[in-house]
Amino acid sequence: MTGESQAARAGAGAGAGPGKDEGKGTIRILQLYPRDMNIYGDWGNALVLQRRVQWHGYTPELLEYNPGDDFPADVDIIVGGGGQDSGQLIIQDDLQLRAGTLTELAEDGAPMLVICGLYQLFGRFFKTRLGTVIPGIGILDVETHGTDERLIGNVKVSTPEFGEVLGYENHSGQTTLGSGVRPLGTVARGTGNNSKDGNEGARYKNVVASYLHGSLLPKNPAIADFLIRTAAERKFGTFDPGAPDDHYAVLAREHAARRPR
Ligand code: GLN
């Protein structure tokens, strides 16, 4: 099934709910490699974007892209999840085929969120613990080395752009940032990018990269709204916000903040 036909299905499912048909326009959300790169609830990021796009009065279209699919045109937001090393090995060749398109979009300011395994592969490379080098697509000036240490647990990050960011990490790769990116934030609890510098995630243009699963966006709506605002401004020249219902996001944040490491 192509991304386009899945889009039709997902779009139909998005029909009910507030915000539909208010005429502000369509925002197309593409989930990269959900079959192989989607762990610890990462798919929830796409669902949060879909719902918040509706709440802001725009019409969401949710697309999926898996290896071998046609790459859909006119994508407004790209999200990609984490995956085991084995999942990264499965998608690596296809990702290289799409490197040019994804790089052009990122350089042009398209908003993107990449988590853990795809964060690593949006960087220069991931060298696994066993020494296999999985090349990345180099959108992010970062490199990742697998280690024998697994970094697992709940994380709190202080960020300059999104306030306190909450989530869950589970990775053995340790990522080092180059001068071409800035960190998403500084860990207040947990480990983040690596066990040395106290940084978590990376920021470049409108790309947000993070190790945090959970999923991330249900309890960090500020990041979701950044992606939606950026998409709307890029596509329509302006963002006309709605009134999202943050009730569950507030509860999720309270709950996540109370969790032990
Ligand atoms: N395989 C990678 C690692 O362990 C990514 C894991 C993940 O996406 N959670 O570093």
| Domains delineated in the chain | 3-258 (3.40.50.880)
User: How is residue 261 written in tokens?
Assistant: 């490491």
Using one digit for the tens of pLDDT, what is the confidence trace for 87-128?
Answer: 999 999 999 999 999 999 999 999 999 999 999 999 999 999
Any idea how long the chain is?
261
Distance 132 CA to ligand 1 centre (A): 14
Which has more pLDDT, 22 or 131?
131
- Measure 206 CA to ligand 1 centroid, in angstroms: 23
Q: Is 84 in the pocket of ligand 1 (CB under 6 A)?
A: yes
Q: Which two tokens stand for residue 108?
A: 């042009």
- Three-state secondary structure readout of 137-156: CCCCCEEEEEEEEEEEEEEE
Q: Is the CB of 83 under 6 A from ligand 1?
A: yes
What's the average model confidence in pLDDT over 71-89?
A: 95
pLDDT at residue 25 is higher than 60: yes
Which atom belonging to ligand 1 lies closest to the Cα atom of 169? 9
Q: Cβ atoms within 10 A of the Cβ of 157, count?
A: 27
Average pLDDT, stretch 156-181? 98
What is the rounded CA–CA span in Å between residue 37 and residue 46?
13
**With contact defined as beta carbons under 8 Å apart, do 64 and 103 qualify?**
no
Contact 2, 69 (CB under 8 A): yes
pLDDT the model gives residue 13: 39
Distance 161 CA to ligand 1 centre (A): 25
* pLDDT value for 76: 98
Q: What mean pLDDT, rounded, does the chain reach?
A: 92
Express each pLDDT in 192-236 by its tens digit: 999 999 999 999 999 999 999 989 999 999 999 999 999 999 999
The percentage of residues in the chain with a pLDDT greater than 70, rounded to a whole number, is 92
C-beta atoms surrounding 248 within 10 Å: 12
**What span, in angstroms and rounded, lies between the C-alpha atoms of 140 and 154?**
25
- Rounded average pLDDT over 52-79: 97
Does this model's pTM top 0.85? My answer is yes
**Helix residue ranges, H only, 1-160:** 3-13, 43-55, 85-97, 99-107, 116-122
**Could you confirm whether 145 is annotated as catalytic?**
no
Residue found under tokens 């998409």: 231
Smallest CA separation from ligand 1 atom 3, residue:
171
For ligand 1, atom 10, the nearest C-alpha belongs to: 173
Task: Using pLDDT thresholds of 50, 70 and 90, give the confidence band for residue 177.
Answer: very high
- 147 C-beta closer than 6 A to ligand 1: no
Q: State residue 41's pLDDT score.
A: 87
Q: How far is it, in rounded angstroms, from Cα 128 to Cα 217?
A: 28
Mean predicted confidence (pLDDT) in 74-90: 95
Q: Is 172 in the pocket of ligand 1 (CB under 6 A)?
A: yes
Active site residue 213: yes
Question: Is residue 155 scored above 70 in pLDDT?
Answer: yes
3: pLDDT strictly greater than 60? no
Q: Is the CB of 171 under 6 A from ligand 1?
A: yes
| pLDDT at res. 215 | 94
Q: Is 69 in the pocket of ligand 1 (CB under 6 A)?
A: no
Give the atom of ligand 1 at the shortest distance from the alpha carbon of 171. 4
Nearest-atom index, ligand 1, CA of 37: 8
Which pLDDT belongs to residue 46?
97
Q: Counting atoms of ligand 1 from 1, which one is nearest the CA of 88?
A: 1
23 compared with 113, residue with greater pLDDT: 113
Structure tokens at 203: 């920021």
Q: Are 228 and 168 in contact (CB under 8 A)?
A: no
**Distance (Å) from CA 127 to ligand 1 centroid:** 11
Give the position, in ligand 1's atom list, of the atom nearest the Cα of 40: 9
Query: For ligand 1, is residue 173 a contact (CB within 6 Å)?
Result: yes
Which range, of 20-29, 99-108, 149-158, 244-253, averages the lowest pLDDT?
20-29
